[in-house]
Amino acid sequence: MDYQKYLSNFLDYCKSEITITEWNRRFSNCENNYIYLKENPIFLAEKESNSRTFISPQYLTKDVPMWYLYNIFNFIHNPEMCDLGLLARTLPKILRISEQLPKFITQKGFTGKMKDLLHLNNINFENTIFELLVGGLYLRNGATNIEFLFDKSKKLADIHADYYGFLYIECKRRTKESEYSRKERELWYQQYLPIQDYLTEHQKSLVIKITFHHELNTYPKNYLYDLLKPMIDGKSRYGLVYDNEDITIEFNEPDFQGLNEKPANKWKIYSPTFTRRLFGLDDERYGITMCVYSNRNRITDYVSDVKKANAGIWYCDSIEAIRNKSVSFKKNIVRALSQIPNEQVGSVHICYESYNGAEVESMNYNRILSDLKNFDLRNKKINFIYLHNLRLLLPENEIFDCIETVVPITNDNSNLKQKLLNPQIICF
């Protein structure tokens, strides 16, 4: 695929929608804010968790759409200025839309949907992207007369299409993280940051892999510090150093040699490739909090000649924690069904991104099936509810990767002709 060609065409179209003058003004604001915050990391540190994988747009600019487009532009013209984590989540989606841009332009309502996407105050950028991806999905499956609808009241379906009959299509995107996950991460910081400070103060390079066997809110406040400090001072061996019914702990050495063999300025801190190579983080269930001493370009976040580093890699395998990390889709489904008119044929698409591992995703799926059994569909002609589960990755030596699982859920009255033969929005 010619990435640059498709992405350049998409950016050119965006410029034409908001005018070159407006584009230049908004682009310049994004760039100036980005450089200022990168040159003033104390401000950014107050806003961001130290396990971040990408910089939240709201900390850089109120212009969320331009922050995404700014990164895509730099991916083409100035790769060192890219936020790799954000691009890994964005590029697969934008590329699919870019590929179909000539067909999209001929569809009713597309121009209005793009104006909505690019609006200065659009904080729902990724929701709008998902609607476009679903529209593209029906285009690829042969639907005609596709119309993108714009309804501020949120009482109407997002898309109309002719697909073996007239079809209402509603799109819902679920946020990727539960409130429980956020609170659990804060408890992790309370437990681990005193240890990180101790390792950093004494310039000790160490990777500590921790598996909690109970929910984090059940451990005493200084549990980790009291347990780990004597082990660190005693220079415990590498490998498994502690294992009981409460916690399992491994000590490992950072792989400086493997990291520094690569040419200078080729590692971007916080990227999955960097954490995998230096700290051995290869299990998607585990989070990481790290501190790295190196030559670093503060603006681009590229590092070289890493001499010292420490990291805490953690996960809680308690069944209660796994259950609490799963998210409910009930509200999303209720809202989606309410936007399909009674006695009219419709389909619903729900998208969610997966970052918590197979156990949580299995529970998500079971919760969805359980919720669906309780819905009253007697006045609804819902053909299919499609669940799009995305895992957007940043593998080594690749621009991005995506694993998409689609589960179509139907009822006894569904028109099977309207089942999409190729239901993937990205990985087709």
Both tokens assigned to 320: 């209660």
- Rounded to 5°, the CA angle 198-201-202 comes to 85
Contact between 368 and 387 under an 8 Å Cβ cutoff? The reply is: yes
DSSP assigned state of 355: -
Which residues fall within 8 angstroms of residue 176, CB to CB, at 6 or more apart?
352, 353, 354, 355
In this structure, the strands spanning 247-252 and 267-268 are unpaired
Name the E strands within 297-414.
Answer: 302-316, 345-353, 381-393, 401-410
Report the alpha-carbon distance of residue 208 to residue 196 in Å, rounded: 10
Structure tokens of 101? 């841009």
User: H-helix or E-strand containing 234?
Assistant: none
Q: How far apart are CA 142 and CA 103, in angstroms?
A: 12
Q: Hey, what are 328's tokens?
A: 């409910």
Q: Is the dihedral of CA 393, 123, 177, 96 positive or negative?
A: negative
Residues linked to residue 268 through DSSP beta bridges, in sequence order:
302
Contact by Cβ (8 Å): 390, 354: yes
Cα gap 170→168, rounded to integer Å: 7
Whether the Cβ atoms of residue 49 and residue 183 lie closer than 8 Å to each other: no
Distance between CA atoms of residues 236 and 232, nearest Å: 6
Torsion of CA 360, 361, 363, 366, to 10 degrees: 180
Q: In what order do the strands lie in the sheet with 159-162?
A: 144-148, 159-162, 166-174, 345-353, 381-393, 401-410
Q: According to the model, what pLDDT value does residue 1 have?
A: 66
The whole-number pLDDT of residue 212 equals 98
What is the structure's pLDDT at 50?
Answer: 40
Per-residue pLDDT of the chain (428 residues; tens, 9 = 90+): 688 899 999 999 999 999 999 999 999 988 887 776 666 654 434 333 443 344 454 445 678 899 999 999 988 998 777 777 788 888 999 999 999 999 999 999 999 999 999 998 888 899 999 999 999 999 999 999 999 998 766 678 999 999 999 999 999 998 767 889 889 999 999 999 999 999 999 999 999 999 999 999 999 999 999 999 999 998 778 999 999 999 999 999 999 887 877 665 567 776 777 888 899 998 888 999 998 887 766 666 677 778 889 999 999 999 999 989 887 788 888 888 888 888 888 999 999 887 777 788 788 878 877 777 777 666 678 888 898 988 887 766 566 788 898 988 876 666 677 788 889 999 86
Residues 412/416/420/421 CA torsion (nearest 10 deg): 120
Name beta bridge partners: 83: none
What distance in Å separates the CA atoms of residue 303 and residue 295, rounded to the nearest whole number? 6
Could you tell me the end-to-end alpha-carbon distance of the chain, in angstroms, rounded to an integer? 13
The two beta strands, 345-353 and 166-174, are: parallel
Let me know if 342 is exposed, middle or buried by CB neighbors in 10 A (0-12, 13-18, 19+).
exposed
